[in-house]
Amino acid sequence: MDRRTGRPSLWLALLHRLLDANGGKMNGKFLLAIVVVALLVVAGFVVFRVILVDMILTLRDSR
């Protein structure tokens, strides 16, 4: 629940919708898929930040 609006957050609403689509059961494959997708998103964000910092440092060194 979001304290400001009183509505469930986007992530909770998405998780409830996915569980309803699966009959309310969360099996191991479903949980593993969620974990893998979350890890891919985090890894992509970290790689993006490293590339961005590298580009900024390269531009700073070229002066």
Token match 């569980």: residue? 19
Instruction: Say whether 63 sits in a helix, a strand or coil.
Output: coil
pLDDT (tens digit per residue) in 3-59: 566 666 887 787 777 777 666 666 777 778 888 999 999 999 999 999 999 999 998
| DSSP labels, 20-57 | HHTTT---HHHHHHHHHHHHHHHHHHHHHHHHHHHHHH
Contact status, residue 8 vs residue 1, Cβ threshold 8 Å: yes
Residue 1 pLDDT > 60, yes or no? no
Cα dihedral 34, 40, 46, 52 sign: negative
Query: Tokens for 63?
Result: 């002066």
pTM for this entry: 0.56
